[in-house]
Chains A and B, each alone.
Chain A
Amino acid sequence: MIILRNRLLERGVYMNIVEVIRLTKSYENFIAVDNIDFTIEKGEVFGFLGPNGAGKTSTINMLTGLSKVTGGNINISGIDGVKDIKKAQSIMGIIPDESNLYSEMNGFENLCFCASLYGMEKEEREKRAKELLKQFGLDNTGKKPFKAYSKGMKRKLTIAAGIIHDPKILFLDEPTTGIDVESARQIRELIVDLNKKGTTIFITTHYIEEAERLCDRIAFIVKGKIVQVGKTDELMKGVQRDKIVQFTLDDGILDIKETLQKDFSHYKFEIINDNIIRIKSKENISLTPIMKYFDEKGLSVYEAKVIRPSLEDVFVKITGIEVSKMNKKGGKK
């Protein structure tokens, strides 16, 4: 069965590169990961989203071999990820949530050293290290030791070290936590580029927007259990019940609210502030009569836009946890 699956995987027919079945992790009386199942398709960006302490890092640690599995099975590209983790590690790139390269060594030395851990020959690893330094915009750091790098640079070099051996699957644990906006943007671009080149990516994050922007599919984990898993756009469709159109107008919305509701009784109106109003309906919203109404009332319309549900709405609906509270807790999970 495994041989057949491997052959299909090589030919690109069999799509799951990771299969997790009834995975459990417990520490004495505490269950960190509770009987979870999910698959990751070859070539996709799979997001693992959840609040602090949900079990994200425990899961990634079990998948990468840094933590023992209490129960369940892991299959990574046809390799038993529980019994034969060392073999599985050779096709994985692992980027932990903290930059853990060697502080005394410069970028080039760090990358060459990491490549050697995967058995790469000297010439090959030096060539690849130079390529990556250039690709990540770190080729001008010269002989600067890693400890002298900025946080963003450290993060980029850590990602470069994780992909130096050209892994089939890349595990990223909170890749943009604790770094500046510009570096975070660059890292997101790098992740997109890597994925375009065919690398399958497993990413844990507690930044909803990041997951929305990067992931093809997402699993929500809360208190060690996966509460929802699906394609990002499908998850968002799932929460949309009403059609919503938002208008930005002159001041004076409050004056017309009552007559508006009377004239358009089949719609619901929600005033956001003095000049923003939302119209909600189960049916499609016809804009022309409303625009005409505003015109008759002497109100100028500056903007009209359709409001789609965000992943944040999905998350709040599924977990009941306010995203602002989740992000406030900061870097660690």
Chain B
Amino acid sequence: MKSWIAFWNILKKDMKNYYLKPPNISWGIIFPVAWTLMFFIKSESTLGIRDILPGVMAMSILFGTTSMLAVTITFERKSCSFERLLLAPISLNVLMLSKTTGAILFGIVNAFIPVIFASFIISLSGINWFIVFAGVLLIAITSTFLGLFIAVSVNEVFEAQTFSNFFRFPMIFLCGLFIPIQSLPIIIRPLSYILPLTYGADILKETISGVGDIPIWTDFLALIVFGIILFSISVKNIKEKWIY
């Protein structure tokens, strides 16, 4: 019960102090809209909105979660206020889950902004929204934990952003969202399968556009495994680096 009170209040504090700040709300809206328009204008003749929707959703989650988490954790670490959390009588797992839940929720909201815009333009009937939501949730969780892994590995906010891009941009091009994995050079293809976004994008492509390549249960399983691994490594790194 005491841990739950702490969990809820850390989440509430982060939402108020970081995620619900006007610049982040506008960024959360503008970013997915910009991606949607960019792909729609660029691919008007060959691709429909429904075809690009999984890609825009996945990118919105990836960029939203990694950017926010890298900033919030690194910022608090820098200002020493993170020490206050480490000194609280709550387990490190509960603490890190409370710190990441805000980013997960932010990622989920980001994912559905392009869906809302798309719903005004095209029909989104025949989509299993339960599976879409489950996929979005798992993409948000793995992306957030990737952001956590990055935040724990650096000391400065700018380093976090730079390090994030090292992961994010290759991931976009290798996860099969815009270039099918089978079209990639054979030597690069194994890389695609060690990226969590590949499995998340496959769930969205299968459910929204009906063009998935991997069995959907494999996608879910892979994302759960990635989530557990990334979270465990991050917590281990915190124990080693921050409780020195």
> Which residue of B is nearest A101, CB measured?
B81
> Given the complex of chains A and B, what is the CA–CA distance between A87 and B90 in angstroms?
9
Contact of B44 with A by CB under 8 A: no
> Given the complex of chains A and B, what is the CA–CA distance between A64 and B86 in angstroms?
10
Q: Can you list, as one digit per residue, whether each of B87-113 has a CB less than 8 Å from chain A (1) or not (0)?
A: 111110000000000000000000000
> Given the complex of chains A and B, what is the CA–CA distance between A17 and B6 in angstroms?
27
Contact B9 A100 (CB under 8 A): no
Interface of B is mostly: helix
> For this complex, into which size category does the number of interface residues on chain A fall?
20 to 34
Shortest beta-carbon distance from B95 to chain A in Å: 9
Contact B87 A116 (CB under 8 A): no
Shortest beta-carbon distance from A224 to chain B in Å: 16
Contact of B187 with A by CB under 8 A: no
Shortest beta-carbon distance from A85 to chain B in Å: 9
Contact of B243 with A by CB under 8 A: yes
Using known A-B contacts A94-B87, A100-B79, determine if residue A120 contacts B5 with beta carbons closer than 8 Å: yes
> Given the complex of chains A and B, what is the CA–CA distance between A89 and B3 in angstroms?
13
Contact B5 A121 (CB under 8 A): yes
CB contacts (< 8 Å) of B85 on chain A: these are 117
CB contacts (< 8 Å) of A96 on chain B: these are 80, 83
> Which residue of A is nearest B88, CB measured?
A117
Q: Which of A67-99 contact B (CB under 8 A)?
A: 67-68, 86-87, 89-90, 92, 94, 96, 98
Contact of A118 with B by CB under 8 A: yes
CB contacts (< 8 Å) of B1 on chain A: these are 119
Contact of A66 with B by CB under 8 A: yes
Contact B79 A103 (CB under 8 A): yes
Option from B5, B91, B244 in Cβ contact (under 8 Å) with A67: B244
CB contacts (< 8 Å) of B87 on chain A: these are 64-66, 89, 92, 94
CB contacts (< 8 Å) of A98 on chain B: these are 80
Option from B6, B79, B81, B244 in Cβ contact (under 8 Å) with A116: B6
User: Among B9, B17, B79, B87, which residue has the most Cβ atoms of chain A within 10 A?
Assistant: B87
Contact A118 B81 (CB under 8 A): no
CB contacts (< 8 Å) of A86 on chain B: these are 89-91
Contact A102 B3 (CB under 8 A): no
Contact of B236 with A by CB under 8 A: no
Contact of A104 with B by CB under 8 A: yes
> Which residue of A is nearest B82, CB measured?
A100
Shortest beta-carbon distance from B73 to chain A in Å: 14
Contact A117 B17 (CB under 8 A): no
Contact A89 B80 (CB under 8 A): no
Q: Which of A213-258 contact B (CB under 8 A)?
A: none
Contact B9 A66 (CB under 8 A): no
Contact A66 B89 (CB under 8 A): no
Shortest beta-carbon distance from A234 to chain B in Å: 33
Contact B89 A89 (CB under 8 A): yes
Q: Which of B1-16 contact A (CB under 8 A)?
A: 1-3, 5-6, 8-10, 13
Option from A68, A92, A113, A161 in Cβ contact (under 8 Å) with B9: A113
> Given the complex of chains A and B, what is the CA–CA distance between A320 and B163 in angstroms?
49
> Given the complex of chains A and B, what is the CA–CA distance between A94 and B85 in angstroms?
11
Which 5 pairs from chain A and chain B are nearest by CB?
Answer: A119-B2, A116-B9, A117-B88, A90-B89, A100-B80
| 28 A-B pairs in the complex with CB atoms less than 8 angstroms apart | A66-B83, A66-B86, A66-B243, A67-B243, A68-B243, A68-B244, A86-B91, A87-B89, A89-B87, A89-B88, A100-B79, A100-B81, A102-B13, A102-B81, A103-B79, A105-B13, A105-B17, A113-B13, A116-B6, A116-B9, A116-B10, A117-B6, A117-B89, A118-B2, A119-B1, A119-B2, A119-B6, A161-B84
Q: A94-B87, A119-B6 are in contact. List 18 more A-B contacts (CB 8 A).
A: A65-B86, A65-B87, A65-B243, A67-B243, A89-B87, A89-B88, A90-B89, A92-B87, A96-B80, A100-B79, A101-B84, A102-B81, A104-B17, A105-B13, A105-B17, A113-B9, A117-B88, A119-B5
B-side residues, CB < 8 A to A, are 1-3, 5-6, 8-10, 13, 17, 79-81, 83-91, 243-244
